Amino acid sequence: MDLLQTLLATLVALGVLVTIHEWGHFWVARRCGVKVLRFSVGFGRPLWMRKGRDGTEYAVAAIPLGGYVRMLDEREGDVPESMRDKAFNNKSVYQRIAIVAAGPLVNLIFAVLAYAFLFLSGISVVVPVIGEITPGSPAARAAVPVEQEVLAVDGREVQSWNEINLRLASHVGETGNIELTVGEPARGMARSYTVPIDQWQVDLERESPLTALGITPWRPEIPPVIGQLLPDGAATAAGLQSGDRILAVDGEPVQDWVALVKIIQASPERQLEVLIERQGQEQSLLLTPARRQLQDGAVQGYIGAGVAEFEFPPEMQRTLSYGPVDALVAGVEKTGQMITLTLESIGKMIAGVISVKNLSGPITIAKVAGTSAASGLESFVSFLAYLSVSLGVLNLLPIPMLDGGHLLYYVVELVRGRPVSEQVQMLGLRVGMALLFSLMALAIVNDLARLF
């Protein structure tokens, strides 16, 4: 069932985003008088196809990792004299720019509307109260206090841990200061703390910017009760079941889930005697955590089990909800923030500040799609919005083969007064294909490394 849910969530996510992207090209092309020959969601052999009254073929193809809009074009075949005015290559450079830019821009507009929908319907978040400060961390050196709420980062108001992490992420690789405003709003108390950073590195595979800064969010005591289990995980092999409460490990009582995780992580490939409570009865099991190696070479144990659902106290939760206009404004701001973060991350990856190991491919996208779908509509819509921003921004990069590469050629044409030569475009196409296939291969390798 988990695999089926992941596949369905992935197909829905990619299907929605690819369709709206190609629809953007299609809609503007039609408005510019270009004859569209085929509108395809997916590549390869069509699984379904029909011809519309407008003469356009509409298809769903076998490989769901993209799509295309095929337009009448003299560079791709003979065009009857009577149809030459409907060929893409015979349109003005401004019309060609509009057609090519429409796909990525529609993705960004979709993200705005998706975020606006979430803000309009209300987003449930945890109040960002600091639980612990890691000794020796940047936050500890700045004497950031615990049990107080983070109110602003660099002078910008924040209301959730997600907002805080996004603000902090923009500082990865930088040297300077991060300003945190912390206090107790109910008592009218607030104070700013200057957190110094020096070429701040964050291993995004293992930690968030928040934990790298040394801040652990406040959490209620989480009962050590097993929730979801991986079918082929060590926990399942040992006989653990959803709902089991862990009472002790090797005779030592387990107080909460965090304590259990620390024990598991410190015990790779070491047999543990686990005392559990199941349906009111106590029993012992032998559990041997599997072993995995982290990027820094450290070894960690894991058992393939998640914690059972638990609830935060009502006073530690808040709902972010806006009216229609404010929700749309918030959607624009959120999309702008995600665009900026995406571009900054690409720049830092090129500069070597962020490891290329953070590149993700289709396997990771599928896993996140399945997880977000299982978490509910809010998480899935948020994932769609983020993925749509990524698709829009990446397609606008000036790389031949992508929409941004074509836009670059058309801008050069505007400046020079004549089109870029076919030879230069073919050379760019080869370079672009080599670059994109290399990046895709690297992303898939990273996916497989995370998986195994």
Alpha helix ranges (H) inside 32-131: 93-121
8 Å CB contact between 158 and 190? no
CA distance 439 to 452: 20
Q: In the 3-class helix/strand/coil scheme, how is 132-156 assigned residue by residue?
A: EECCCCHHHHCCCCCCCEEEEECCE
CB atoms inside a 10 Å sphere around CB 416? 9
8 Å CB contact between 116 and 331? yes
Phi/psi of residue 195, each to 5°?
A: -100, 110
Query: How far is the first Cα of the chain from the last one, in angstroms, to the nearest whole number?
Result: 21
Q: Widest CA span of the chain, in angstroms? A: 87
CA distance 96 to 127: 48
> Which of the following is catalytic: 22, 149, 163, 344?
22
What are the tokens at 449? 């490394």
- Catalytic residue check, 22: yes
Query: Which among 305, 61, 355, 87 is positioned nearest to 204, based on CA atoms?
Result: 355
8 Å CB contact between 193 and 144? yes
* Residues recorded for the chain: 452
What amino acid positions are annotated as catalytic residues? Answer: 22
